[in-house]
Structure 1
């Protein structure tokens, strides 16, 4: 059975642009579409987390336009990013999915919930960030959290496939376009008002101290979305799902299995 470290990278045409994706494991339910974080590619995903999730459901991972293995140009709005996701799903023959969005991907997931409810089954920089910089962004400054960060960094580099060049953090114009999309989404007050319009069952998660998406905002999300649950993980930050991959996967499966 394929695992994230070895599953074949495929491509689909989205409006004439080749979009890379990986699709693997159990196919007994609706697929789970993962929408990635700022500057994230599918070569940087945590295999421990996604292999655990894939024990119970099929997982679809992808690089949006001009990210990682995909072609095109990075869009500078979350609306356009959501549109790309819907077109990819159509191209691979998927009509309904569960969606998990992390960080920037969470904004895209909200757009999908608002504008494409029928799909629901129930920084600009020319230098890639260093391991230490990612630890500072994703993990809590404690010995235990930073140790988990080091383990995560090792895991995301486990995939080494002959003949396939790794594509990691986008830099330059692509990263800038993603940041522009985040800022535009954040300052649009209509998005806050529209939270009440999300009726799909929603799981909101975060770490104890998130320096990128402040943890109190997760509570606000849970309060504004009518059918939302909230889990805050201890001794962790933005990358809480990578610090607690086994526990996070258990919580996610418990949530999805009740839909």
Structure 2
């Protein structure tokens, strides 16, 4: 085993070496991991996708970001090793995240919201716009976004197909079935196994059902006006089955000054399939 590479303040620089920590906030204990340098400026708080725990982050997405930033991978109440009852509304998930961020002593942050995490991030912007300076949305949509009310059906059918074909559902949901997409799915699944110790607790079926209810409720809501006026970056795949690419336009209507980049031959896992381009784009966007 190689020696852990440390950042400023003894923070690891690699996802595989990062210990799982916890913070007591909003009546629960929320797990998180942090890596990178304190000299990276404003902390980047990252919120993960539906059905995910802290182990679901792609090391080749997180590690390059941590070369330039202090990155905080924040868990959700009732998910993985976090205590409390899982939330069924993004408004509540956002309130939990705000409480945890403030309990960590962070007065200003940037946000990276991946899929469901982007929906939580939008609620954070609504509830605490002064807390956030810049935000990156990847594979997400606003309230009432196109196709969000049918995500449950798309997801369940992929899970059933995965069981029948002995295929990880994320391979079917996150990637295209083209040769490039199949290869990206294969290497992604391998990278998720790189962290061998200190892994998070598995996501339960109850958590998955609760989060699907939250997405369905979100899809039926009308989007309120957002008080956030800071810089926004929107990243999306052109063949996203879970959150159709039309959601990028819907987000742009809500954040009209946002930068938008749509990746070709990419599905819901656009940030994983295009991790090198995504980290380069996000790093430039987040630089002051």
TM-score by length of 2: 0.82
- How far did residue 70 of structure 1 move? 0.9
Q: Say which is worse superposed, 100-109 or 221-230, in terms of deviation.
A: 221-230
Structure 2: give runs of 5+ residues left out of the alignment: 1-5, 7-11, 135-151
Q: How many residues align?
A: 252
Q: Secondary structure at the match of 1:206?
A: strand
CA distance in 2 between counterparts of 1:165 and 1:60 reads 16
Question: 1:72 — aligned with what?
Answer: 84
Question: 1:13 — aligned with what?
Answer: 24
- How far did residue 92 of structure 1 move? 1.2
Question: 2:184 — aligned with what?
Answer: 148
TM-score by length of 1: 0.91
CA distance in 2 between counterparts of 1:226 and 1:235 reads 25
- How far did residue 63 of structure 1 move? 1.6
Q: Secondary structure at the match of 2:30?
A: strand
Q: Say which is worse superposed, 120-129 or 98-107, in terms of deviation.
A: 120-129
Pairs within 5 Å for 1:139-178: 139-161=175-197, 164-168=198-202, 170-178=203-211
Is contact 1:12-1:20 (8 Å) kept? yes
CA distance in 1 between counterparts of 2:254 and 2:200 reads 40
Which residue of 99, 107, 119 maps to 1:107?
119
Question: 2:279 — aligned with what?
Answer: 249
Is contact 2:55-2:199 (8 Å) kept? no
CA distance in 2 between counterparts of 1:77 and 1:166 reads 23
The runs of 4+ residues in structure 1 deviating greater than 3 Å are: 122-132
Structure 1: give runs of 5+ residues left out of the alignment: none
Aligned CA RMSD, in angstroms, stands at: 2.0
Question: 2:36 — aligned with what?
Answer: 25
